[in-house]
């Protein structure tokens, strides 16, 4: 995947939030809905974008889909960007 496509997938604050939560532990859509306060369709749409971008993986167990970080390099990229922004604020 080209770097520009990765940054495009990371361009949404909601997707960044989802990635940060998945960095802690894999989660189902319903868990992410509870944690983020976003609607189920919106969480599913963001997860589809992240999955298509190769940033998350999905494992299906029965009717439940559990999402996880596909590449922990992305977590470092997100966290470094957040630290950088917070440094600029202070």
Q: What is the mean pLDDT of the chain?
A: 91
Buried b (16+ CB within 10 A) or exposed e, 6-36: beebbeeeebbbbbebbbeebbbbebbbeeb
- Strand, helix or coil for residue 43: helix
Domain that residue 56 falls in? 3-89
pTM of the model: 0.86
Note the pLDDT of residue 37: 96
pLDDT in tens, 28-59: 999 999 999 999 999 999 999 999 989 999 99
- Strand, helix or coil for residue 65: strand
- In percent, how much of the chain has pLDDT > 90? 59
- Strand, helix or coil for residue 68: strand
CA atoms within 13 A on the CB side of 81: 13
Q: Number of folded domains in the chain?
A: 1
CATH number of the domain bearing residue 29: 1.10.10.10
Note the pLDDT of residue 83: 86
């Amino acid at each position: 995947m080209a770097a520009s496509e990765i940054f495009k997938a990371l361009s949404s604050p909601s997707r960044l939030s989802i990635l940060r939560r998945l960095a802690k532990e894999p989660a189902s859509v319903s868990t992410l809905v509870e944690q983020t306060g976003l609607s189920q369709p919106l969480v599913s749409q963001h997860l589809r974008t992240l999955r298509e971008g190769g940033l998350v993986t999905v494992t299906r167990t029965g009717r439940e889909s559990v999402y996880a970080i596909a590449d922990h390099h992305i977590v470092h990229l997100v966290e470094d960007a957040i630290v950088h922004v917070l440094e600029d604020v202070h």
